[in-house]
Amino acid sequence: MFRSVILCFAIFAVSISATNVRRCTKNRPFPLSVIIEGCDIMPCEAIKGNVAVMTATFVGTHDGIKAITTQAKASVVGLTVPYILPEDVANVCANLMDGATCPINEGDVVTYSFKFPIDHSEPELSVKMETSFVEDETSESIACFVVDIKVKKSDIDDDSLYETNII
């Protein structure tokens, strides 16, 4: 009973400021909440050369989940390609918040904080980004969501930024 009350409170607390994201296909579990800094409604703007900061709160789907890796795929005009994250970012267990650690058990509510680097070379396009947290041992998706992203260049001219920093 107490665990149910805690879970209901956690769902309410994280849903207050959550970004509106969509479910993945194949009935993969959906996170309790996803918060993308600076984005409440899709499409979220991703500024080239910056980092998109995200937190996702999800529930363990079974006992003994020892290692989870973030797998991301970007889809543009019907073409889907893997979006490779640095290993230290993709390691979910190393980036859990509030003192949580792996292994994660069924019903455990955990929050993962991660950063998507947006390279300067990224094309300025609208992208559908599917992000899945996958258990390493079983390749089972623990949580999955889709977000629409608009990649844009910065409104700040790099030369003027450089000149400002010289003074």
Domain with 41, as residue range(s), is: 2-166
DSSP 44-104: EEEETTSEEEEEEEEE-SSS-B--EEEEEEEEETTEEEEEPPPHHHHBTGGGBSTT--SSB
User: Cα–Cα distances in Å, from 74 out to 63, 127, 129?
Assistant: 30, 6, 5
Higher pLDDT, 1 or 30: 30
Radius of gyration, CA atoms only, the chain: 17
Average pLDDT over residues 32-59: 93
Distance CA 112, CA 132 (A): 12
Domain containing residue 8: CATH number: 2.60.40.770
pTM of the shown model:
0.80
Tell me the per-residue pLDDT of 20-45, one tens digit each, with 9 for 90 and over: 999 999 999 999 999 999 998 899 99
Q: Does residue 162 carry a pLDDT above 70?
A: no
How many domains does the chain divide into?
Answer: 1
